[in-house]
């Protein structure tokens, strides 16, 4: 049963934080933030902050999980106890296990697993602050961390969420909009090919609304993808100054 | 039609070019039909003035992929019945069998392997075989003359992808340390480097300089910068 939102989600076409329906929150990204990891990234969509760390390819412990012809991807999506208003119990919940699984499947579609048989690629996604759209933020962070680790991939993956408030399709849900809105549709896109690697839907949507949601998601992905490129190139940007 | 220029940084999924008579694309790429795309964050290096030019897509990051014949520096991590397990900073574990460790005949029953190599010893070894079907995919040997346990000097770690830069063209970078500072720098292909200097205090300087080369590996004019650093170190510490 959907409770009533404490404050109206949409007033005069503006959302609770003053955004227009197609407006994405400001995005910040940094790559290489954990020197001990093979690759890492810190990504924020507004107030949602996710830290990604990639270890691999490496020998897995336990050894028996390896597969002879390709690498195994392990993903752990976890919300830090301090990431939410009420302390979140650190034990993995069913939601975290589900998100770990769908993120793993999205990443497996782009990583060249056959280049490192009998090894594992471990991806750790830690939500440091949760304000809606954590799974798509995590996917963006995971993609940056994999690229930072030098793991061969087809493409960079961009995560965007779209949702609904009554009949209005909105981009990039924050916590209130996720909890009290009328629909949630997180998407992950392999940018160059326009492949959809993850798509989940919550709520009741008309086909036209889903179509509009996808259009807005692809459009919002442009800016996020540009940010990702700058973050990755930024480590080597001094070359340009010559 | 080539989509990239020399010294450009490319990201996974970027189009490099297609099949052409003017150039040949090598390195960290994947092909979709007749177009090549970058597979990792990489730098473009276009070699050759005569066609066909070589368009090298050089990854800026990555794990060490063992190859037969490579010289590597490993840390002994376990002693087993017939040999030692060695960590070579790779997704694949390495094994040094007893009969590849010494020229003397060894009686497996009575010999104590710890007398030859113990856990946390460091070895300069060569990869004699790389076979994914085995439990330990990489097989090492230390039977050749300059291989064996490392007993002095300093060992530092860099990204394996940067190894060619540290070695330099035909060993020019490494030879600079030998000529200017009388330091032996042995570079393992797995990104571990053994530094041994006549004067132990120079080893710290050489280690820091190698780390500098690693950070700046994508810049041009690196040889000259390193030469300048060495010169200024020599003058401040009063070396000839």
Q: What is the pLDDT of residue B21?
A: 86
Is there a contact between B220 and A242 if contact means CB atoms under 8 Å apart? yes
Mark B16-51 as b/e (b = at least 16 C-beta within 10 Å). bbeeeeebebebbbbeeeeebbbbbbbbbbbeeeee
For B199, phi and psi rounded to 5 degrees?
A: -105, 120
- Judge whether A39 and A150 are in contact, CB under 8 Å: yes
State whether B13 and A155 contact (CB < 8 Å): yes
Residue range B53-81: average pLDDT?
91
Q: Chain B within 8 Å of A151 (Cβ-Cβ)? A: yes
B40 in A contact zone (CB under 8 Å): yes
CA–CA distance, B160 with B151 (Å, rounded to integer):
23
Q: Looking at the domain covering B154-235, what would its CATH class be? A: alpha beta
* Model confidence band, residue A1 (pLDDT cutoffs 50, 70, 90): very low
Q: How many domains does chain A have?
A: 1
B71-149 to CATH, choices 3.40.630.10, 3.40.350.10, 2.40.50.140, 3.40.1080.10: 2.40.50.140
Q: What are phi and psi of B102, to 5 degrees?
A: -150, 150
Residue A6 inside a domain? The answer is no
Which residues does chain A have within 8 Å of residue B62's beta carbon, measured at their own beta carbons? 149-151
The model's pLDDT over A38-53, given as tens digits with 9 standing for 90+, comes to 999 999 999 999 999 9
B191-208 as b/e, with b when 16 or more CB fall inside 10 Å? Answer: bbbbbbbeeeebbebbbe
pTM comes to 0.89
Chain B residues with CB inside 8 Å of A149's CB? 61-63
* pLDDT, mean over chain A: 93
Evaluate whether residue A1 is within a structural domain. Answer: no
Q: Does domain B9-59 have CATH number 2.40.50.100?
A: yes
Cβ atoms of B14 and B38 closer than 8 Å: yes
- Beta-bridge partners for A30: A42
- Cβ pair B92:A156 closer than 8 A: no
CATH 2.40.50.100 in chain B is located at 9-59
ipTM of the complex: 0.89
Count how many pairs of residues, chain A against chain B, have C-beta atoms within 8 Å: 88
> Nearest by CB to A239, which of B39, B41, B218?
B218
Pair of tokens at residue B114? 């710890």
Q: Is the pLDDT of residue A240 over 50?
A: no
Q: Look at A156 and B93 and tell me if their CB atoms are within 8 Å.
A: no
Contact A59 B30 (CB under 8 A): no
**E strands, chain A, in order:** 10-11, 14-15, 27-31, 39-45, 48-58, 72-79, 120-129, 157-165, 168-171, 183-190, 195-199, 202-203
A:216-235 residues touching chain B, CB 8 A cutoff = 229, 232-233
CB-CB under 8 Å, B12 with A153: yes
Chain B partners of A68 at a C-beta cutoff of 8 Å?
A: 132-133
- % pLDDT > 90, chain A: 84
Residue range(s) occupied by CATH 3.30.1370.10 in chain B: 154-235
How deeply is A163 buried, as exposed, middle or buried, from its count of CB atoms within 10 A (0-12, 13-18, 19+)? buried
């Amino acid at each position: 049963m959907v409770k009533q939102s404490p404050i109206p989600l949409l007033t005069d076409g503006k959302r609770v934080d003053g955004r227009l329906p197609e407006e994405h929150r400001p995005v910040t990204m940094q790559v290489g933030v954990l020197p001990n990891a093979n690759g890492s990234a810190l990504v924020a969509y507004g107030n949602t902050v996710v830290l990604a760390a990639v270890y691999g390819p490496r020998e897995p412990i336990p050894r028996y999980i390896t597969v002879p012809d390709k690498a195994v991807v392990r993903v752990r999506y976890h919300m830090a106890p301090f990431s939410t208003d009420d302390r979140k119990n650190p034990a993995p919940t069913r939601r975290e296990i589900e998100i770990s699984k769908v993120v793993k499947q999205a990443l497996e579609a782009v990583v060249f697993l056959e280049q490192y048989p009998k090894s594992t690629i471990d991806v750790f996604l830690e939500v440091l602050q949760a304000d809606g759209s954590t799974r798509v933020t995590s996917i963006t962070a995971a993609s940056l961390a994999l690229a930072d680790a030098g793991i061969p991939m087809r493409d960079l993956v961009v995560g965007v969420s779209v949702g609904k408030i009554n009949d209005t399709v909105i981009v990039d849900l924050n916590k209130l909009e996720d909890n009290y809105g009328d629909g949630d549709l997180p998407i992950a896109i392999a940018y160059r090919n326009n492949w959809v690697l993850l798509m989940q839907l919550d709520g009741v949507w008309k086909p036209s609304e889903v179509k509009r949601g996808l259009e807005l998601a692809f459009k919002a992905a442009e800016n996020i993808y540009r940010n990702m490129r700058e973050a990755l190139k930024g480590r080597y940007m001094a070359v340009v100054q010559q | 039609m080539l989509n990239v220029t020399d010294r450009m940084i490319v990201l996974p999924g970027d189009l490099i070019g297609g099949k052409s008579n003017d150039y040949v694309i090598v390195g960290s790429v994947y092909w979709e039909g007749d177009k090549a795309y970058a597979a990792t964050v990489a730098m473009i290096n276009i070699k050759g003035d005569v066609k066909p030019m070589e368009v090298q897509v050089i990854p800026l990051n990555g794990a060490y992929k063992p190859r037969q014949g490579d010289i590597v520096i490993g840390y002994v991590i376990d002693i087993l019945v017939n040999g030692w397990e060695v960590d070579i900073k790779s997704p694949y574990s390495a094994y040094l069998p007893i009969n590849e460790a010494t020229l003397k005949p060894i009686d497996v029953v009575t010999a104590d392997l710890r007398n030859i190599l113990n856990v946390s010893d460091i070895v300069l070894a060569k990869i004699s075989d790389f076979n994914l079907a085995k439990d330990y995919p990489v097989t090492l040997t230390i039977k050749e003359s300059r291989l064996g346990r490392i007993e002095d000097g300093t060992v530092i770690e860099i990204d394996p992808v940067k190894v060619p830069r540290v070695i330099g063209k035909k060993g020019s970078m490494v030879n600079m340390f030998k000529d200017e500072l009388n330091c032996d720098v042995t570079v393992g292909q797995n990104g571990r480097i053994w530094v041994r200097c006549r004067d132990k205090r120079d080893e710290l300087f050489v280690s820091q300089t190698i780390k500098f080369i690693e950070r700046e590996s994508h810049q041009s004019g690196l040889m000259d910068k390193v030469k300048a650093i060495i010169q200024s170190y020599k003058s401040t510490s009063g070396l000839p």
